[in-house]
């Protein structure tokens, strides 16, 4: 029961979202702004629906922090739903409000609706969709931002950018072995347009193509998915372990990313493409430069393995890709479904939704990667205060420069 | 600390591999043959190296079983290394044998060698590679076979087949919504050639192409990776849960598959391809037929989601894809590396190895999927004896036919 | 990651206490009053300090509940601190308020103060004592009340009563084998005095003796500990398991109870007394009556084992005892300590505190026992909705009546 | 999934006992003798039955060790049952041997027999008693010895001694604040008699009284329980944490000890006795001496809290007490029971058993305490090799001497 773990709670239209992250060392500087900037990044993105306007999410840190520094105990955050006034009866916890709004009985293909209603024995699908909604990821982003802040103390940068939307795909991304370039791509994806509503892809030309694709889908009442990269720089060699299946860093990252709503695929480094090449083409050969104190002398010129070999970080940037399916809630092209009660064929319910949420999903991917990496980091370095963890970290980095 | 969990132990050339699976209900019929047939399937496969001849693995069940039935407690299996006589000194546990064989100091790119030696502070890379070796998956297969046996009591079939080797790719696989077809493809992949050394792909024509590709790579001293599908039929709707990130079935499966040595990508259902299509093209629409007792009336005609929506099984077959990178140990084209001790550039060490292990990897994928699904199954249905679990299962199936 | 687990967050004088319980099946009726009545019971008790008047705790259920029934997802509760206005600067999360109140530098023996400050690298002990305070148990009681509500669906009653305060000890408690008598003692302890401020012991005479002892200690500026019993009736045979050390019900209960602030000893059934007797004197012999449907025919006339044999419930009431040390914060007799900063000998800090909190501690014990038992219950019976769990439970109970 | 965890497998008369410990850092020197000396200590003890002669347990280390040093991966041990030849059919894993020996149908009060048979649906109680037997603790002792070896690198000594057998109780044990005295008592308990069959209590006089009590019980065909102390010296301040109930060191130790077969009570430090005293009498006041480098300047003159405050180690020796009930298998005074099949009243089965196993139980207590403390140690200090953990440990100890 050690390490960093995160738990979220809350329904999409409930009173508030709540989350707890445990295990962050003490004396880490932290402020709501550290969290809110990622909440905002999650909400932006070309293709998000109207709800984003309603919900300018702000996290309140309720516990675990005093005078701007962590206390070493669980940090609880709460994000109030701005729209709560409209849902107070419909999502009330009180039995007196039972029936205040009509039941949802038309399950939407591609959502948790049908499986959830069957599993949990509900006639009103709202009881499922409220928790299954990607709104839940707001809390993940909040908790992940705290994990990022912890990792940033060690120079770790976690970022993301969109690599495709629908069938518009970034041209080959090279040099994923270079932290500087990764960070530059990330910065471009973040800042490119001068305002914040972008598709979060590095190239201006492709960005426009992607926005165009989103616009067309919106016009058709259709939706689009896409792919994105999440990376982490400055991860020291040796996080995770080859010694047991559930200690491997790649597996833990894959779970974290695949657990995001609508993600259907995860890759480390070259991923599926590596399966098509010969062994002599994909390995990251090993080189050495006499290191400065606190550095690791061995390095690679390529990073096809995405920074992980044998279930451990190898000192190169961690690079993950993920595929998000298109959002299954279609405005104009309702999918065929069956009414839960009447068993009659019907059209699936339409809940207000986005056309494309890939730019947001990438931000959520950062949060999940941060949670896994922070856990693996603490597992290796131990420490209860940020100073102790740092001293242990430097112990190891100094040892690395001497092997 | 409930549910099913698996732990493996052992080095590639150690005395024995050991594994423990916990949580299997009592009174499940089980015999060594249930395990050994999967150990054999793992060892077969066109492209495996010479070691496979040495090691005809046989599992001994040491605990947890009596008179052919499980006792409800931990089941320990041991697989002795047939080659142990040649390694008794080199891999001895005794300090008296220190130095009996020369240290490995040339880290192989693509392996745990360098990261592991740095992390664990070893000068002799053998101390890492022995545990990091895919030999470890023998134990996973043994424990996974026990999980499969448990699931088979509920009509679950878990199978796999190879979908590409190198750049030879199966033509589009359709109808992954149909259990019968999945099982047929599996059977073809298993039996096709009349002998057991095949690439485990369903089509004879493609099988020959793939073997040809393996042959060419072998001649070049090169290696090949590939992709494979793992599926599970008859999984009831409602395993896993949408309620928390670490309860989602897709995430748990992704971790289990990505944790396999050399796997660099995992997909559920359509996976990455789904990210390129419109929402109206990929969703599995919902239909209904009045069910017989014990069946679920809602069904799909497609299975693009791979049997999982909202982190829960949806009653369709579970279908996963994974990408295996080519094996990084190259016989004729040694990769550039750096000697751990001298820091001089060298060629990477060559340990006897396979040219292509994709057919084996698919069998390992089955084992890992089985472990996750058995855990999720027991989580939903509870029960300490197979009869109790079965009664609870039927409770639920009968309830499903009445909603 | 299945089963029921509870997490708490929050500082004693922070803005709010927060807790999350995961894994409660859907469709369980629940209302704030189910929680608040236990929060009130925790706050009452002869010997509590002035703070209790300030804090009439009320739980808000923020998530996981709709229209009076659980949704199957995580349930988050928040208990606001009524006294927050007085602490807004002193316990602010904002770095702007740094230094708003003076640092606590005098560690109190018997508290987390010194060990916590050393471990977490704090100069201001408030950063430790705020989380280490027994105020945290408010959240445990809230979450435990939800677990109790779940168990009550199966006729389980969890109660407690005080068995000693200081050196005033209840005379021998007999017949702990009889659920009816346990519940009667519990009811007496709850209701005895006509008002709620009692020591929660069943006998009126002893109650007066105990209150007298508390009064004397208060006059002396001293404190008292004591012992209490927590019991659970109607627990079916077979919760927990003998098969692995961390699945044993007795161990899990012992952890839960020992983790309560100030508890220094835990017993199951006869506990330490059993160690003084002969084997022929302490075993609970086995009898049989042809059972009605849904009952277990085997029974005992004694319950020296406290309802647990071999790490499993045996069908008798679960009976635990625990020892609470006296509260270490002494008003008039300050303990010797050393200033953290000056290293000079000083008297320990006095934070407003109780004279005796044993009656409260017993209520907390109920909550922790409920959390463990609910987890073990769900582990055996599975189920995602209360109806499914109930059906599985009846499956088993009917099977029991037929063996 | 980090930290140290232990799993055992195996039946009392099965082919072998198997155990796995995960998470021990690399490069720890280890040899079978480190384990075997504790296996022998577990088997000795006045009052053990005839079986001890048959089974001179020897552990084979099958994995995780090479040339006398740990590899950082899982360490599997196997202890073969010497008596296996006599049980090969009766405990065979093969269904062909079904019925080779008669079923046990008479449940023994005080054992897992009845609860286990009901839970796991067995008619033959042997299917329960084989795993529930205290024989299982052999594996715990083996794995615990590895944890002890790890802790010994940091000067930690874990020992135990018996404090009562039946109603013969050691006179008041003073000065449990002094590591030197604890170790001296331990050494006396170990070595006292000149041969190894003792009751493992420090005083010669009391030792004779206790042996006399055991002899009388044996003559009567009765059994005796008792109490023992387990201690750990040189545990640095700050293991465990006050921040969450399941991170508290006292709770984790209590679970580990209470999970031992026949243990019914656990205390930390003064335990139940503390509940009878005033606050001013029990607290361990705080003193300070300018420390040498690497030491903690704050200390106590008493250790009533048993080295744990606020769920954390406080720098004093950890001192636990536990109560073992008398063994419930009575040779001459069979307990009343009911035949599982006929439902007729009968006498409980007699399996060859001990008269008193308290001296062994204390050794098992050491093993369980070692597992918990090693886990908490690694949680604080991290590190993958013993050198890295040691460097981090010294970081912290040096920091401690400067606060």
pLDDT category at D198 given cuts 50, 70, 90 is: confident
Find all residues with CB under 8 Å of A47, minimum gap 6, and list them.
A199, A214, A218, A224, A354, A355, A356, A357, A358, A359
Partners of D399 on chain A (C-beta within 8 Å) are 387-388, 391
- Contact partners of B by the rule of 3+ C-beta pairs under 8 A? A, C, D
Tell me: pLDDT of C151 over 90: yes
**Binary contact (A242, B300; C-beta < 8 A):** no
Per residue in B153-174, pLDDT tens? 999 999 999 999 999 998 766 6
Residue to substitute from D71, D78, D132, interface B, most B β-carbons within 10 A: D71
User: D381 vs A392: CB contact, 8 Å cut-off?
Assistant: yes
- Indicate if the pLDDT at residue B195 is higher than 80: no
Q: How confident is the model at residue A54 (pLDDT cuts 50, 70, 90)?
A: low
Confidence of residue D333 (pLDDT cuts 50, 70, 90): confident
Are the C-beta atoms of B134 and B42 separated by less than 8 Å?
A: no
Question: Taking CB atoms and an 8 Å limit, are D72 and A243 in contact across chains?
Answer: yes
Determine, for residues A132 and B265 on separate chains, whether the beta-carbon distance falls below 8 Å.
no
What pLDDT does C124 receive? 98
Mean pLDDT (chain A, rounded): 93
pLDDT digit string (tens) for B347-386?
A: 987 767 789 999 999 999 999 999 999 999 999 999 999 9
| For residues B303-311, average pLDDT | 97
CA A374 and chain centroid, separation: 14
Q: Among A163-172, A221-230, C144-153, C298-307, where is mean pLDDT lowest? A: A163-172
**In this complex, do C395 and B399 lie within 8 Å of one another by their Cβ atoms?**
no
The winner for highest mean pLDDT among A34-48, A103-117, C320-334, D197-211 is A103-117
Are A131 and C71 in contact (CB < 8 Å)? yes
- Closest partner CB to C382 (pick from B74, B375, B383): B383
Task: Kindly list the residues from chain A whose CB atom is less than 8 angstroms away from the CB atom of residue B278.
Answer: 166, 217, 220, 222-224, 326
Residue D331 contacts by C-beta under 8 Å, 6 or more apart in sequence? D221, D350, D353
Name the residue of chain D whose CA is nearest to C336's CA: D285
Q: Measured between CA atoms, how close is D376 to chain A, in angstroms?
A: 9
pLDDT score for A349: 77
Decide if B73 and D388 are in contact by the 8 Å CB cutoff: no
C-alpha to C-alpha distance for D241 and A180, rounded to whole angstroms? 39
Contact C66 A384 (CB under 8 A): no
Over 60: is that where the pLDDT of B296 sits?
yes
C-beta of residue A256 within 8 angstroms of C-beta of residue A360: no
Handedness of CA A25, A26, A30, A36 (dihedral sign): positive
pLDDT over 90 percentage in chain C: 86
Residue D267: which of C324, A164, C205 has the closest Cα? C324
**Strand B65-66, strand B168-169: pairing:** unpaired
Query: What pLDDT is recorded for position A173?
Result: 65
User: For chain D, which chains pass the contact test of at least 3 CB pairs under 8 Å?
Assistant: A, B, C
Chain D partners of C257 at a C-beta cutoff of 8 Å?
Answer: 254
pLDDT at C251 over 70: yes
Q: How far is C259 from chain D (nearest CA, A)?
A: 5
Shortest distance between the Cα of B249 and any Cα of chain C, in A, equals 11
Residue C50 pLDDT: 53
DSSP 8-state code for residue D6: E
Nearest by CB to residue C244, choosing from B22, B382, B384, is B22
What residue in A sits closest to D242 (Cα-Cα)?
A73
Dist CA D118 CA C399 (whole Å): 9
Work out the pLDDT band at D172, boundaries 50, 70, 90: low
Q: Report pLDDT for A44.
A: 81
Do residues A118 and B238 touch, judged by C-beta distance below 8 A?
Answer: yes
Q: List, for residues C310-326, the tens digit of each pLDDT value.
A: 999 999 999 999 999 99
Give the closest residue to A190 by CA, choosing from A366, A54, A368.
A366
Interface touch A323/B255, C-beta < 8 Å:
no
| Binding partners of C (≥3 Cβ pairs within 8 A) | A, B, D
Residue A317, pLDDT above cutoff 60? yes
Closest CA in chain B for residue A213: B278
Helix (H) or strand (E) holding A187, with range, is helix A179-191
Count of structural domains within chain D: 1
- Tens of pLDDT, residue by residue over D342-366, are 999 999 877 777 899 999 999 999 9
Question: Is the separation of the CB atoms in B361 and B3 below 8 Å?
Answer: no
Residues in chain C closer than 8 A to B382 (CB atoms): 378-383, 392
List, in order, residues 6 or more apart from B349 with CB less than 8 Å away: B104, B106, B107, B108, B125, B337
Contact call for A67 and C93, based on CB within 8 A: yes
Residues in chain D closer than 8 A to B73 (CB atoms): 9, 11, 131
Can you give the residue range of the structural domain that contains C135?
A: 5-401
pLDDT tier, C330 (very low <50, low <70, confident <90, very high otherwise): confident
pLDDT for residue C196: 57
pLDDT score for A362: 97
Least confident of B236-240, D206-210, D346-350: D346-350
Chain C residue closest in CA terms to B24:
C243
Classify residue A385 by its DSSP letter: B
List, for residues C107-129, the tens digit of each pLDDT value: 999 999 999 999 999 999 999 99
User: How do B59-61 and C336-338 pair as beta strands?
Assistant: unpaired
B135 and B17 Cβ atoms separated by less than 8 Å: yes
Phi-psi region of C182 (alpha: psi -120 to 50; beta: other; left: phi over 0): alpha
Separation between Cα atoms, residue B219 and residue C150, nearest integer Å: 66
Q: Do A286 and B338 touch (CB under 8 A)?
A: yes
Which member of D237, D258, D286 has the closest CB to residue C119?
A: D237
Residue of chain D with shortest Cα separation from B125 = D71
Evaluate whether D265 touches C267 at the Cβ level (below 8 Å): yes
Please name the member of C73, C74, C392 whose beta carbon is closest to the beta carbon of B382. Answer: C392
Report chain B residues whose CB lies below 8 A from the CB of A248. 258-259
Q: Do A378 and D382 touch (CB under 8 A)?
A: yes
For residue A362, the domain's CATH number is 3.60.150.10
d(CA D62, CA C27): 50
Q: Residue D245 pLDDT > 70, yes or no?
A: yes
> How much is the pLDDT for C172?
60
Closest by Cβ to D67, choosing from B27, B66, B98: B98
Average pLDDT over residues D9-37: 97
Residues of A in contact with C92 (CB under 8 A): 66-67
Kindly determine whether residue B2 and residue C244, on different chains, have CB atoms separated by under 8 Å. Answer: no
Residues of chain C in contact with residue B380, where contact means CB-CB under 8 angstroms, are 382-384
Q: How far is CA A380 from CA A307, B63, B120, C116, in A?
A: 17, 34, 11, 22
B68–D385 CB contact, under 8 Å: no
Nearest-neighbour CA in chain B from C111: distance (Å): 30
B177 has pLDDT over 90? no
Q: What is the pLDDT of residue C177?
A: 87
Average pLDDT over residues D120-136: 97
Contact call for D384 and B10, based on CB within 8 A: no
């Amino acid at each position: 029961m050690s390490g960093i773990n995160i738990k979220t709670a809350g329904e999409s239209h409930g009173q508030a979202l709540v989350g707890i992250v445990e295990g962050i060392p003490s004396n880490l500087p932290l402020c709501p702004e550290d969290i809110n900037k990622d909440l905002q990044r999650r909400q932006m993105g070309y293709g998000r629906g109207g709800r984003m306007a309603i919900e300018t999410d702000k996290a309140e840190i309720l516990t675990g922090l005093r005078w701007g520094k962590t206390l070493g105990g669980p940090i609880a955050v709460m994000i109030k739903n701005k729209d709560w006034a409209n849902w107070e009866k419909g999502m009330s916890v009180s039995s007196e409000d039972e029936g205040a709004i009509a039941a949802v009985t038309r399950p939407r293909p591609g959502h948790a609706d049908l499986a959830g209603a069957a599993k949990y024995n509900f006639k009103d699908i709202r009881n499922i969709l409220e928790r299954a909604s990607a709104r839940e990821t707001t809390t993940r982003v909040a908790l992940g931002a705290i994990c990022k802040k912890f990792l940033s103390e060690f120079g770790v940068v976690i970022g993301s950018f969109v690599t495709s939307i629908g069938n518009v795909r970034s041209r080959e991304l090279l040099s994923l072995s270079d932290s500087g370039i990764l960070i530059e791509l990330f910065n471009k994806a973040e800042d490119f347009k001068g305002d914040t509503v972008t598709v979060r892809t590095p190239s201006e030309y492709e960005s426009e193509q992607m926005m165009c694709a989103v616009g067309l889908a919106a016009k058709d009442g259709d939706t689009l998915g896409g792919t994105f990269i999440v990376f982490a720089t400055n991860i020291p060699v040796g996080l995770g372990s080859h010694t047991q299946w559930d200690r491997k860093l790649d597996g833990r990252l894959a779970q974290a990313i695949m657990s995001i709503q609508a993600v259907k695929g995860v890759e480390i480094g070259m991923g599926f493409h590596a399966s098509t090449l010969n062994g002599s083409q994909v390995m990251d050969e090993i080189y050495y430069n006499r290191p400065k104190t606190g550095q690791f002398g061995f390095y690679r010129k390529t990073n096809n393995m995405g920074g992980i070999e044998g279930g451990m970080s190898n000192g190169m940037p961690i690079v993950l890709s993920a595929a998000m399916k298109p959002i299954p809630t279609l405005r104009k092209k309702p999918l065929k479904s069956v009414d839960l009660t009447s068993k009659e064929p019907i059209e699936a319910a339409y809940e207000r939704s986005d056309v494309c949420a890939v730019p947001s999903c990438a931000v959520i991917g950062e949060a999940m990667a941060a949670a896994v990496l922070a856990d693996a980091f603490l597992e290796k370095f131990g420490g209860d205060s940020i100073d102790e963890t740092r001293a242990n970290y430097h112990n190891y980095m100094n040892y690395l420069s001497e092997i």
